[in-house]
Amino acid sequence: MNKGLIIFLNGTSSSGKTSLTKKLQELCGEPYFHLSIDVYENMAPEKYLENNYWDTLRKCASAMHNSIKTFSDAGLNVIIDHVILDIPEENGWLEECVKILLDYPVVFVRVDCPLHELERREKDRGDRDIGQAKWQLERIHGHGIYDLEVNTFENTMQECAEQIMQFKLPANHLNAFRRLYEKTKEMI
């Protein structure tokens, strides 16, 4: 059985990952399942999040990372909606994803949006912590390696989705996760 394709979106809160996921699901000829860190976090009982937020979130994230592999192994395509930050509490998240999905067909997509628009979206939605996107924007994308970058302010969701759908994995499978893995090996 062929492995399912993985579109891995990484960007701040309010950058448009969920809207982009819905647009991709609408436009893709094949079904793509949506896995979101928010959904996995919301599966945890509130008292565990309150008592030890980061430890619980780390476990939820690891469960999601392993679920990506499970979906792909079953031949199911997935879109990942994630926020991987360059902070000590999330140390190892990207490395875990790279290790688990190294030999999988992953397109790692940086989802960008300028701060003024992130702040406008936070206010308009009313269900976001004001300032969260700014805080995240200052702590994301430090690794700097992606297969593709989209900007949800400069382009419509349709245009961003089309950019992603037109991207083809290199024949030698030298995708961003493979390059991140090689970079990690060099540092050891």
Q: List, run by run, the mean pLDDT of 10-residue segments along the chain (188 residues).
A: 93 95 95 95 90 92 97 97 94 94 95 95 83 91 94 97 85 80 72
117, exposed or middle or buried, with CB in 10 Å at 0-12, 13-18, 19+? middle
pLDDT at residue 170, as a whole number: 61
Identify whether the C-beta of residue 106 lies closer than 8 Å to the C-beta of residue 6: yes
Are 7 and 107 in contact, with CB atoms under 8 Å apart? yes
What does the pLDDT read at residue 130? 87
Query: Tell me, what's the pLDDT at 172?
Result: 59
Q: What pLDDT sits at residue 72?
A: 97
Q: How far apart are CA 2 and CA 141, in angstroms?
A: 30
| Element of type H or E holding 80 | strand 77-82
CA dihedral sign, ordered 30, 35, 133, 104: negative
